[in-house]
Chain A
């Protein structure tokens, strides 16, 4: 009984400490965007590298380190988890509608989607499954899985594609936080490739009008096309 009471007190103290961190640093907001390109997502994804990790969290204080490295994954503090990171990088909205919303890195937000949602999207959700083949995927698409009743689940964003492995950017876990790592996720048997619907064209905001449309003017360099 005494041990349980001490443990409970300790747990409460930990939560209080974690909340204090978020209360102090998660002051950001969000703003609607008229477009969100893969290149914008790439730029947005970089500052959180080396920051912390928090299950169902949270927010980042961009100081190039994990502010709360000793906190449990679910114990508050800095960071988001893998699905929260994808939600932010894809500039998704909380109401499942299409469109774009930029979340400040220091805005406390996870979003309504978890790795199992991303792995098996519903038709009206703003992302969908695509083939895992590298001829189909592009940087800022994702690989997601949910195995063993949820003991093993994750979603990671493709950073740079390779022939036999890829570089991924992801909120990896509570030990390393957000990082870029070389992984063979794509070739694993029970994973799904996922892409955000409605990526904006890379020519935004200066895309040609309908009267002057050419493939080259919309997809400079062959990239950026919606899939």
Chain B
């Protein structure tokens, strides 16, 4: 049995314990699922990290990067001796192997232009290690390859020049969150980075407008009305900072980074299930029939089959997707393609729409917060923008043909929220909520962007 097989068996044991609600199982699971335990007969194994492209330009070479880390980096079982990308262009009968080259601690691959047809390509990595065991990414012999689409056919458009000072004013400040342990306070000073403040780690908004704030320091989730009145406080399991997302009447949450664990809570805060994230670097979570976590750029994996029933890493990898459909089945995604920001979404009739957005001179594309398809066939794209000394958020409304209909420059979000991609949320009424630093705490501001 290979290392993946043994690991899978271990995880199944852990999953069984957790699903049964066994306290002992939960304790063991929390320890074992950190990845801290290695099979001594095999040795420590490298953890592979990869940021995948979602969109590329057809007929243009694509650069991919892979890195790894390991507890004993000089051990043979950790040593990456060779890495290749198996690339399959759409419609091709088989894969072409591209060998990686090691540069400054990472392995780089260049997919040649002829392997990037208009319908895109798929790829996976095969990594050789010094002990002969090797591994694949996404992990598992049966994992689905990573699928990359192209921007073929997308119309070009331009974002008008702006001044960084032209930032919109909020319609209102919905919630002010002072630091502290009071009923409507969050976080604490003195336990964060080098003793800095530790505020809420994430927030989300329910379809009905209720605002949930993860006050991880005090192990609770605070619920506020859409006008900012505190409604309730429910327990959050002990642990580090988490990203949260609404999931039915309850919520899902995940720890961040490597060896992450997602969990599911009822409306009252009861733990319905704990789900190890099988690979990658976890940065956010979304709810739904199959809650998914983001384990790398353009890589989302489900974490459970049903409440209390975790999925193995192999099954998670088999179901990996570049983005997560909304409840109505629509999707939206974005990526940087050359010097453009590519945005793609589905219209209500299921057809594909999008735009290749040229940014003003000197402006760089930043974080992808979300792309939200709209009922009129257009979309709202909320994306970070930055240069050497500025950081702001662009809320761009596109029409169904991919033309920019409205652009709003929002202020810099808080830099203290541990889940950096969850500092902006879409509200059911069409506004967005933005978490911002505010003196000794944080505030949630509502902006009209439509």
Residues of B contacting A153 in the complex (Cβ-Cβ under 8 angstroms): 193-194, 196
Within 8 A of B (CB), among A113-170: 114-115, 131-133, 138-140, 145, 147-148, 150-154, 159-165, 167, 169
Instruction: Select one of A46, A74, A138 contacting B71, CB under 8 A.
Output: A46
Nearest Cβ on chain A to B54's Cβ, whole angstroms:
10
Known contacts A180-B69, A183-B420, A188-B415: A165-B258 contact under CB 8 Å: no
| Residue B161 interfacial (CB < 8 Å) | no
B256 interfacial contact with A, CB 8 Å: yes
B222 interface contact, C-beta 8 A? no
> What is the bound-complex CA distance between A164 and B385, given in angstroms?
10
CA–CA, A115 to B364, complex, Å?
A: 26
Which of B73, B194, B364, B384 contacts A43, CB < 8 Å?
B73
Are the C-beta atoms of B36 and A164 separated by less than 8 Å?
A: no
Contact A189/B365 with A152-B196, A173-B192 known, Cβ cut-off 8 Å: no
Please determine whether B256 and A181 come into contact, CB atoms closer than 8 angstroms: yes
Cα distance A154–B108 when bound, in Å? Answer: 29
Is A39 located at the chain interface by the 8 A CB criterion?
Answer: yes
Q: Is the CB of B297 within 8 A of A164?
A: yes
A43 to B51, CA, bound (A): 21
Which residues of A have CB within 8 Å of B108? 221
B197 at the interface (CB under 8 A from A): yes
Other-chain residue from A47, A151, A224 in contact with B196 (beta carbon distance below 8 A): A151
Q: Let me know if B257 and A160 touch, CB within 8 A.
A: no
Q: What distance in Å separates the Cβ of A30 from its nearest Cβ neighbour in chain B?
A: 19
- Tell me the bound Cα distance from A190 to B196 in angstroms: 16
A164 adjacent to B336 (CB under 8 Å): yes
CB distance from A37 to the nearest CB of B (A): 9
> What is the interface size of chain B, counting residues whose CB is below 8 A from a CB of the partner?
59
CB interface residues, B 152-202, toward A, < 8 Å? 189-198
Tell whether, in the assembled complex, residue A180 and residue B103 are in contact, meaning their CB atoms are under 8 Å apart.
no
* Assembled-state Cα–Cα distance A158/B73 (Å): 18
Known pairs A138-B104, A154-B196, A182-B283; A132 contacts B366 (CB<8 A)? no
Task: Give chain A nearest CB distance to B107 CB in angstroms.
Answer: 10
Question: How distant is A148 from chain B, measured CB to nearest CB, in Å?
Answer: 8
- The yes or no answer to A55 lying at the interface (CB within 8 A) is yes
- Is A181 within 8 A of B367, CB to CB? no
Closest A residue to B103 using CB positions: A223
Indicate if the CB atoms of B193 and A152 lie closer than 8 Å. Answer: yes
B10 contacts partner chain A, Cβ-Cβ < 8 Å: no
Q: Determine whether A174 belongs to the interface, using a CB cutoff of 8 Å to chain B.
A: yes
Q: Which residues of B contact A133 (CB under 8 A)?
A: 364, 388
* A44-85 Cβ-contact flags toward B at 8 Å (1 or 0): 001101100001000000101100000011100000011100
CB distance A74 to B195 under 8 Å?
yes
Contact B196 A50 (CB under 8 A): no
Query: Please, how many residues of chain A have a CB less than 8 angstroms from a CB on the other chain?
Result: 64
Task: List chain B residues, Cβ under 8 A from A174.
Answer: 191
Report the separation of the CA atoms of residues A176 and B101 in the bound assembly, to the nearest whole angstrom: 32
Partner of B70, one of A46, A82, A169, A175: A46
A-B contacts, CB under 8 A, total: 173
Query: Which of A132, A139, A173, A187 makes the CB contact (< 8 A) with B105?
Result: A139
For A38, the chain B residues whose CB sits under 8 A away are 104-105
Contact of A221 among B73, B102, B384 (CB under 8 A): B102
Within 8 A of A (CB), among B43-67: 49, 51, 65, 67
B-side contacts of A114, CB under 8 Å: 194
Pairwise interchain contact B194-A154, C-beta atoms closer than 8 A: yes
Judging by beta carbons under 8 Å apart, are B191 and A224 in contact? no
On whether the beta carbons of A43 and B74 are closer than 8 Å, the reply is yes
Q: Is the CB of A221 within 8 A of B195?
A: no
Q: How far is the CA of A153 from the CA of B205 in the complex (A)?
A: 29
B191 partner, pick from A47, A175, A180, beta carbons under 8 A: A175
> How distant is B261 from chain A, measured CB to nearest CB, in Å?
12
Please name the residue on chain A nearest to B388 by beta carbon.
A132
The smallest beta-carbon distance between B294 and chain A, in angstroms, is 8
Could you tell me if A46 and B258 are in contact, using CB atoms closer than 8 angstroms? Answer: no
Q: B131 within 8 Å of A by Cβ?
A: no
B191 in contact with A162 (CB, 8 Å): no
> Given A47-B72, A160-B49, A223-B104, are A73 and B191 neighbors across the interface (CB < 8 Å)?
yes
The answer to whether the Cβ of B390 comes within 8 Å of any Cβ in the partner chain is yes
In the complex where A151-B196, A180-B49 touch, is A187 in contact with B104 (Cβ < 8 A)? Answer: no
| 7 A–B contacts, CB within 8 A, in A order | A62-B71, A64-B71, A131-B388, A132-B388, A153-B194, A164-B367, A179-B258
Extra 17 A-B pairs, beta carbons < 8 Å, given A132-B388, A152-B193, A163-B365:
A38-B105, A39-B104, A42-B104, A83-B194, A147-B415, A150-B196, A151-B197, A160-B67, A162-B297, A164-B336, A164-B366, A175-B198, A179-B258, A184-B366, A184-B367, A189-B386, A189-B412
Q: Which residues of B contact A (CB under 8 A)?
A: 34-36, 49, 51, 65, 67, 69-74, 101-106, 108, 189-198, 240-241, 256-259, 281, 283, 296-297, 335-336, 364-368, 384, 386, 388-391, 412, 415-416, 420-421, 437
- Report the 3 A-B pairs with minimum CB-CB distance, sorted nearest first: A42-B105, A187-B386, A223-B103
